[in-house]
Chain A
Amino acid sequence: MSCPRIAVIGAPNAGKTTLYNWITGSKFRAVNYPGSTVEFALGHALSQYECPLEVIDTPGVYSLSPKSPEEEVTLRILNDEAPTGVIAVVDATQLARHLFIVHQLQEQNVPVVMALTMTDLLKKKGFEVDVKKLSEILKIPVVVVDGRLGSGVKELLLAATTISESFEFQHHQWDERTIQKTYQIIDKIITEVVSTRGSQKLQNFQRSDMTTRYIDRWVLSPWAGLPIFILILGTLFTSIFWLAQPLMDWVDIFFSFLGEQTFALVGAGLFGQFLQDGFIAGLGAVLVFVPQIFILFLGLTLLEDWGYLARAASIMDRPLSKVGLNGRSFVPLLSGFACAIPAMMAARTISSRHERFLTLFVIPLMSCSARLPVFALLLAYLFQDQAPWKPGLALAAIYILSIVLGMVAAALASRWIRSDETSFFMLELPSYRRPRLRNALKTAYQRTGHYIQRAGKAILVLSVIIWVGTVFPNYNMENPSERLATSYAAQAGHYIEPIMSPMGGDWRVGLSLVSAFAAREVFVSSLALIFNVTDDDEDSLQQGLLNSMKTATNSNGEFIFTTSTVTGLIFFFIVALQCMSTVVIAKKESESWSFALGQLGIFTVAAYLLTVLLVQALRLFGIP
């Protein structure tokens, strides 16, 4: 007999992903924002539960009438994946709405077992649910599950096994009368199963909690909402710089030490040179920025957990709709500051195809974490020996500029991609939850780990290529400058130089830019390699690179890294789409190669032309 296959279904934010993680031992992240799960996951129940089950986690749905791509996934699972039963996840504090989907499933003859979550929160609100009575009325097993401790999961799986049977799902669209009748039944059930504790009154059951209402009075206020929004995001982006500095110094010291020790251990041979000047210097030049990336991930995680993102989406709906986007575009755009790949997937919650495509189009303009090492290096160069708040403020300005450019691009593209579709918003604002710092730290740690893994591979491969290119064929030459000038990389780089010179760069900058198309952060490691940054003197790796940049001149003896060139490079990185993984995901999400390649071409050409204009304009105004 085949293993029963159970789908976990419920409204957004009911606790499906948390339950799925308990059942299967997975580590998917549950987020306090409706629509955080956009595709399904299939797993097996852990052996400790002694219930051999296949379990499918699904995106949240309010009903069985899907209105957006991620909701269609849930219906497709019921139709195509042949589940033998459903675990309907119901948040006890949202019983008055979440019972709707349970009733719909039952009406369509789907075998259901109910997992009742958040009963602890309900108790705090002063209410209790009579679980036995609820089960009797609905004629389905109801099991209380604690999402924090995992209690009740075994009982739930046993119940799921008992109800499991093959069924044919027949989807019917419900009319107004049926919906009205269903809610009347739900209201009647609530009066029978919900009781109050202490001085609480039953009529308050259908109100959100007091804390959420109190915070929302400020956070969503027409006059205080926007300053709070700016303050929250401003604090996040400026703290990336000033909070990370001491940690960055430690990483820098560590890589300098590692380079010295490796050189001492392996010796001054070709391999020793590669390890110290090539791989360790390249990797260290990028990993020194990991503390900043960690702080960015931690801040985003805390905002996700707290429940603020849905509020921010509501505040931004009106301004975003002016450029053809939707308030629901806000969360994918904000996620784009971490990485464009999950951000593009998050755009599935937007029901309008036109708005979804526009969101996909502008996401690469949001300054992702891979750009952070590049900006941090170039800002450190521009603001050497200046107060740390200055580069912090400049970084915040870069983020604001990327948002402004995103809006301009959306406004232009929305004129180009016209649509008669009516746009809708309608967003549930979940209750605030106190973020758990330990969980947030763990998530930020995991995200940073993925970043290091991804970047590390690209850096290793590119470091080998660039090191070989800059050392050979005359590897035994004594003078490093002469060796570099006659290297393979220099020969290839001279073809790029005519393209680079209007931007203010030479072949070395051009080569670093080309290598950054594999992964943006490779630009930093490539610069470190090409400029042969080592820890020969008293300086740290980062300071060594900054010093090399300061003295670097082109073939005419002019300084390369001037204010205009460095500003131009920052602008180039804001606009250019230098990420092959993003191109692949853009194709997947838009189901169109023309869209993905068009996006790559538009942003790369625009980045180059606008950078040339900027550099030349700055020079015209007397800025070197």
Chain B
Amino acid sequence: MGPSDLTLRLQQLGFIQGETIWFLGRTAFQGPFLVELRGVAVALRDIEARCLEVKWIDQGSDR
């Protein structure tokens, strides 16, 4: 997969403009980011997470 394929793949998974995602944290060893979207948690490496532009909305503990 090249970088453009990666962006497309993220979009197919539901990472589209205006989508609300929940940041769950990171695994041990500074491993993948864990986010939740459309009812499922997804683990993303730095290189994949960097493809996303995110605006932070603080919802207290429910994130």
Q: Which residues of A contact B (CB under 8 A)?
A: 62-63, 65, 67, 93-94, 96-97, 100, 173-174, 176, 179-180, 183, 205-208, 212-213, 216, 220-223, 225-226, 310, 313-315, 317-319, 321, 327, 351-352, 422-431
Contacts and interface: CB of A to CB of B under 8 A. Distances in A.
B39 A205 contact: yes
A206 B32 contact: no
A313 B28 CA distance: 12
Contacts of B22: 207
A176 B25 contact: no
Contacts of A173: 8
Given A318-B30, A422-B47, A426-B43, A221 B25 contact: yes
A426 B31 contact: no
A220 B24 contact: yes
B39 A97 contact: yes
20 contacts: A65-B8, A65-B9, A93-B39, A97-B14, A97-B40, A176-B11, A180-B16, A180-B17, A183-B19, A207-B36, A208-B36, A221-B25, A313-B43, A314-B27, A317-B45, A422-B6, A424-B6, A425-B44, A425-B48, A426-B6
Contacts of A67: 1, 5, 9
Contact of B43 (A100, A222, A321, A427): A427
Interface of B: 1-3, 5-14, 16-17, 19-20, 22, 24-32, 34, 36-45, 47-48
B6, B40, B43, B48 — which one has the most chain A CB atoms within 10 A of its CB?
Answer: B40
Contacts of A205: 39
Contacts of B8: 65, 173-174, 176, 179
A619 B4 CA distance: 58
A531 B1 CA distance: 56
A62 B40 contact: no
Contacts of A425: 32, 43-45, 48
B28 A97 contact: no
Contact of B28 (A180, A208, A222, A431): A222
A212 B48 CA distance: 23
Contact of A429 (B9, B31, B34): B34
A284 to B, nearest CB: 45
Contact of B24 (A97, A216, A223, A310): A216
Nearest to A352: B1
A424 B47 contact: yes
Nearest to A205: B39
A317 B34 CA distance: 12
A206 B43 contact: no
A74 to B, nearest CB: 14
B48 A424 contact: yes
Given A93-B39, A208-B41, A216-B24, A314 B16 contact: no
